[in-house]
Every structure is written in C-alpha cells, then in structure tokens.
Copies of this chain bind each other. A is one copy, B any other.
Amino acid sequence: MVTSAKDKSTEEKILAAARRVFVRDGMTGARMQDIADEAGINKALLHYHFRNKKKLFEVVFLEAAGRLFPKINEIFEADLGLFEKIERFCEEYVTLVMENPYLPLFVLNEINRDPHYFLGKVWKGKSTPRPEKLLAQIKAEQAAGRIRSVDPLQLLMHLLSMTIFPFVARPMLRKNLGLDEQTFRVVMEQRKKEIPEFIIHAIRI
C-alpha cells in the first residue's frame, strides 16, 4: 500500500492521539470521538485509516508492550555479571518508564482484562521475557558461594517489583506519601541507585 507524506502525517496524528487516550482510559474506557478530537479530525477519518476500534487499539497496545518487554530480555540475557545486570536494569528501566509513566499500569491492566488475547495473538514469538538465563546465573553465583542462598525466582520478583511497582501505584503513592510530581521524579531517580544497593546488601555473604 502506497503511503503519501500526507497519509503518514495523518496516521501519525491519529496514533499519537490514540496512544494518549487508550493509555489514559483503557480499551473499554476510550471513546473513538475523543481520539478523533485529540487528533483534530473526525470519526469517519479514524475508521478510514484504522477499520475499527479493536484494530486501532491493537496497534497501540502492541507498541506499548513492545516498549516494555524487550528491554527486560535485552539486559537479563546480556553477557554481564549479575550485579551489573541488576544495576543496568534499574538504571535503564526506570529511565525508560519515566518517559511513559502510565505505560506499565496500562499494559498490566489490559493483559488482565483479556489474558487469552494477550497469550495468543500478541505473544507470538515476540520478545517475551526469558528469565531462564538470569535464574541460572543467580544459581551459579550461589553455588560458587559468592552470594547468599536465596530462591532465584523470589529474587527476580523482588527486582521487578521494586522497579516497576512505584509507577503502577503512582497516583496512590503520590497521595498517600504526599509526593508532588517533581518529588516523585526525584525519588524514582534515586531508586536507580537505591534498589541495586539494597539488593546487593541483601544477598551479600
């Protein structure tokens, strides 16, 4: 399909609008009218470029998931020492998500809304996290006596939890811990160093 410069511009405007609205309101809460308004066009044109709501959502969701998941693999399967992986993961993942703070909750929520759809159409040979290498690496470090014996799966869950949860719970944390937007960003910036340090202290011999 040939795509003129103007086409691309409009489709890009639509996608930018759809990202904002879908990520904010979710698949079920989003309205095609809102997306059209946000893009500065009308609904008919939306349906011309993307046949229906489901298809448009799919593009946005796959793109969102594609931003969050590959990075995990990339680091966990890299050729690095365990501590380096932990440090790099926190540093790079917090940086990544800070640019799109609402992405994790959006993705987790949509996965939860329709796990089957998620498993099927979405997860086909894509970069679904493969934690085996990291888990094996943790086991090896323990066998070599370089770190304390902790269930590798539990350690991985600790790492993911501490890194991602604050973004998922952001509105609640901001209210309950009394953090304004600026302070929240500072706290998350500190976590880049704080989390690895915390983990290292926890598993040192």
Q: What is A's interface to B at a CB cutoff of 8 Å?
A: 25-29, 102, 105, 108-109, 111-113, 115, 118-119, 123, 128-129, 131, 148, 150-151, 153-154, 156-158, 160-162, 164-166, 168-173, 175-177, 187, 190-191, 194-195, 198-199, 201-203
Cβ of B162 and Cβ of A111 under 8 Å apart?
no
- Nearest residue, chain B, Cβ from A131: B177
Contacts of A165 in B (CB 8 A): 157, 160-161, 164-165, 168
Nearest CB of B to A115, in Å: 5
- Nearest residue, chain B, Cβ from A169: B108
Cβ of B187 and Cβ of A153 under 8 Å apart?
yes
- Nearest residue, chain B, Cβ from A24: B113
Contacts of A190 in B (CB 8 A): 151, 154
Contacts of A27 in B (CB 8 A): 29
Known A109-B109, A202-B202; contact A166-B161, beta-carbon cutoff 8 A: yes
Cβ of B164 and Cβ of A158 under 8 Å apart?
no
Cβ of B26 and Cβ of A157 under 8 Å apart?
no
Nearest CB of B to A186, in Å: 11
Cβ of B171 and Cβ of A112 under 8 Å apart?
yes
Cβ of A109 and Cβ of B105 under 8 Å apart?
yes
Cβ of B119 and Cβ of A175 under 8 Å apart?
yes
Bound: A175/B151 CA distance, A: 19
Cβ of A176 and Cβ of B128 under 8 Å apart?
yes
Cβ of B191 and Cβ of A148 under 8 Å apart?
no
Contacts of A176 in B (CB 8 A): 128-129, 131
Given contacts A26-B28, A105-B108, A157-B187, 19 further A-B contacts (CB under 8 A): A25-B113, A26-B26, A26-B29, A26-B113, A108-B168, A111-B171, A111-B172, A148-B201, A153-B187, A154-B190, A157-B162, A157-B166, A160-B169, A161-B165, A162-B162, A164-B169, A165-B168, A201-B202, A202-B202
Contacts of A151 in B (CB 8 A): 190, 194
